[in-house]
Amino acid sequence: MRALVVVLTLLLVATAVALWRSRSELSAVRQRLMTRREQFSVLAHEIKTPLALITATTEIMLSEVPGPLSGDQRAFLNEIDQSTARMLLLTDNILTESKLQTGVFSLSLAPTDVRDVVKEVWRSMRRLADLRDQKLTLDYPRIMSKAMVDEALLRQAVTNLVQNAIRHTSVGGTVTLRAFENEREIVISVWDDGSGMTPEERKRAFQQFVSHAGGTGLGLTIVETIASLHGGSVKVDTSLGQGAAFLLKLPREGR
């Protein structure tokens, strides 16, 4: 009996030591991950500054204030403008993802007129659509309830959806941005007449780093996270060759 007690005691001690080591290793891994995310966040901040300068310089050049442009020069500047816009949005997504993953992000909720947000996104994304000879349309009702949201996050989510639609729509296609409401929620929809998705692509649409059009796949993941933080959801209605419609649903103010 005494020998059995000794054996059980040794097993308990060994188990306790193994658990302590596991917890220590897990803590070390978490710390390394936290440091890595912070490094990504700092890097994204450093990248945004020169990108913003490139954007401003490109816009001045395209305005032809410094002098007239040839056709080739304008084409090159348009390509720079388009690529810089994609990179700026990517850095914003990386910054948001880093904050969300490290748990240091807090929502700044306020009653918001969603129509103002979609109008701002529509204005900012028209240049990108124009570069692809696409038609970016906007539609919303004259009167609309407000939503209790973090306006900056909502703007980022809608921008991600519109950029995703533009990327998946062929040259000369159409992207439609709408805002409307029903009895329970406010809905922001982004529809495109592009290539659509297969059933498998639809299942994986919101998975991080999964994309079927050359993107990072991070944009839609951020949209889903932002929707969830607001107590809402995002859905996609699509089929191959029939375009895609993304529906971002948010609770109305006071509901």
Residue 101 has pLDDT above 70, yes or no: no
Instruction: Identify the residue with better confidence: 234 or 24.
Output: 234
Q: What is the pLDDT of residue 29?
A: 47
Across 215-235, b (16+ Cβ under 10 Å) vs e yields bebbbbbbbbbbbebbebebe
Tokens found for residue 213: 């059009």
Euclidean distance between CA atoms 250 and 154, whole angstroms: 10
At CA 241, angle to CA 124 and CA 138, rounded to 5?
Answer: 25
Q: Taking residues 92-117, what's their average pLDDT?
A: 77
Sign for the pseudo-dihedral over CA of 164, 166, 171, 175: positive
What CA–CA distance (Å, rounded) separates 223 from 188?
Answer: 12
Q: Is the dihedral of CA 28, 34, 40, 42 positive or negative?
A: negative
| DSSP β-ladder status, 110-112 and 147-149 | antiparallel
- CATH topology of 2-102 equal to that of 110-251? no
Q: Where are the beta strands (DSSP E) in 81-183?
A: 110-112, 135-139, 147-149, 174-181
**Cβ atoms 123, 158 nearer than 8 A:** no
Name the class of domain 2-102. Answer: mainly alpha
Cα 149 to Cα 126, 157, 214: the distances in Å are 24, 12, 31
- Domain 110-251: CATH superfamily, name plus number: Histidine kinase-like ATPase, C-terminal domain (3.30.565.10)
Which pLDDT score, from 0 to 100, does residue 241 have?
Answer: 72
pLDDT at position 157 is 93
> 187 with 179: CB under 8 angstroms?
yes
What proportion of the chain, given as a percentage, has pLDDT over 90? 25
The answer, yes or no, to whether residue 93 has pLDDT greater than 80, is no
Q: Which pair of structure tokens corresponds to residue 94?
A: 């990386």
Could you tell me the sign of the dihedral formed by the alpha carbons of 80, 81, 84, 86, in that order?
A: negative
DSSP designation for 67: -
CA-wise closest residue to 170 among 196, 143, 208: 196
Phi, psi of 105 (to 5 degrees): -95, 135
Q: Coil, helix or strand for 178?
A: strand
The domain spans of the chain are: 2-102, 110-251
pTM more than 0.75: no
